[in-house]
Structure 1
Amino acid sequence: MKLAVGFAGMGIMGKAMARNAAKAGHHVAVYNRSPLASGDAEGLEIAATPLELARCRDVLVLMLTGPGAVDAVLWGENGMGPALGPGKTVVNMSTVPPAYCASLAGKLGAAGAVFVDAPVSGSKVPAQQGALVILAGGPRDAVDALEPLFMSMGKKVVYCGEAPKGSMMKMSVNLLLASMMESLCEMLVFGRAGGLTDEAMLQVALGGPLACDLFKVKEQMLLQRKFPAQFPLKHMHKDLRFVTDTATDMRCPAPSAFANLQIFNQAMSKGLGELDFAAVIEALEGMV
């Protein structure tokens, strides 16, 4: 079934996701806060405001930078709010804290709209390839109805339970992701101090049971010391703050998340925020 989809947020991820949805035959209109570059929305209808987008589409996908941006699109000037009610489904694919997601579900439910909590696992290249993993939370029937849309953007949909369990899964995944990236970079800095080369260490990491897609994707960045953003470091820094705040609220131990937040703080203070999060190696090198 082809859906009438409004997509708010045409950044690194949203642009690729909206295009893939349109390629699959869904009727996609888009809104972006800043003007779109030529070709970014080729073949797509462009809404001038979030309200206009909500009035012309039934399924409204949010792929934004965080709670502030989501609030602005929903409840700010010319926001979607007045158009939300029965017959509308809001799908938040942005990374937000579970507590915020639960509040959002309550507000939208009170307005009569269906809310689905569906952040993604994956960054720029999987988004372009339509190979994201969708971490879906919300009413099971609503998630099932959205599967054709989700599968146009991803390779797998994992049902996590009622909202905000999709966002809780995203926090859990990014806790692991930060630890993996920091640990690989820490290995390189540590081994180099003992006379090993990055090339040799990466051959070992990628040649045995430690090998994984993440390390393969970041290998050339680390060897060439060039970090074009696939997942900007500033976004991992933000997500680690969400993880540590959530852990504090739940009184749950998350020692690596708190330690990694401090390292990513250092990376932000060094002006690395716009680079890929693999650039955290430069923060570690600055500690030597």
Structure 2
Amino acid sequence: MRKKLVCLLLALAVCLSLAGCGGVSYGVNPVMTLVSQDYSMAFRNDDMVYYYVVAALEEMNAEGTITELARKWLGSNMVSFGRRANALAAYEPPEPRTFIIGVDENSFPFAYGDNGNYWGFDVELATRMCEKLGWTLKVQVVEKENVYIELYSGNIDCAWGGLALPEKDIENKRYTVYGPYVHNDIVIASRDGSNIWNSLQLNGRRMAMCTTPEAMEALQSAGKVANRLGQITRLAGGTTECFSYLFAGKCDLILTDSTAIAYYNSH
């Protein structure tokens, strides 16, 4: 699996480098927005961990670390965190501990997994934060619908990794929320240079998409538009495989995240 992911990323890098040399443009453009969502972090209510994490992040933002990582993973600083220099000075030094975050491993480029290892903006930011606090990071895969159970069973200390938390849980204050720190749209997208630029031009078009429940729900929300599409290919390889299909001309459209488009359009 690791070798397959590396090969896909190398293939995409070659395509993008050719585009930069005056060849075909390999950017991606949204054609239609299906779902709008916000990513946030969740903690157990009245847990002191929340205050250390928020202070560390806001101090790191003041130091420029978050901007650096946002540009690396998203091409620009499209995330929103508080900013406080020396924010940790308000608290006693934290005790060493293992800090467990629950991530959606299918939320590239915020959190994604391969052969038991995890990468992405949120994962790297959590790693840097743990280094600052003297903590050890552990990553656990969770479903957003189970965040409350995962937190209060002690399986995780924080839900953080490309998670659009259920609105009902937020409204009922089942846990303490930090954020939202970034907005994301689930969209149908086409490649630069194609003749597909709005929803009226989707008839009979081939589309690739992930096999995740969230992707399936987004497609169902499209209603009659989904029925106008041609062949729909469901790929188990995640976001990277979808973009590889699009750049290779194996499909006309992909169902993906706007934040993933930001990553590929900047690399």
> Higher RCO, 1 or 2 (CA under 8 Å, sep at least 6)?
2
Considering the TM-score relative to the shorter chain, is it more than 0.5?
Answer: no
Please state which structure has a larger fraction of its residues in helix: 1
- TM-score, length-normalised on structure 2? 0.28
Please state which structure has a larger fraction of its residues in strand: 2
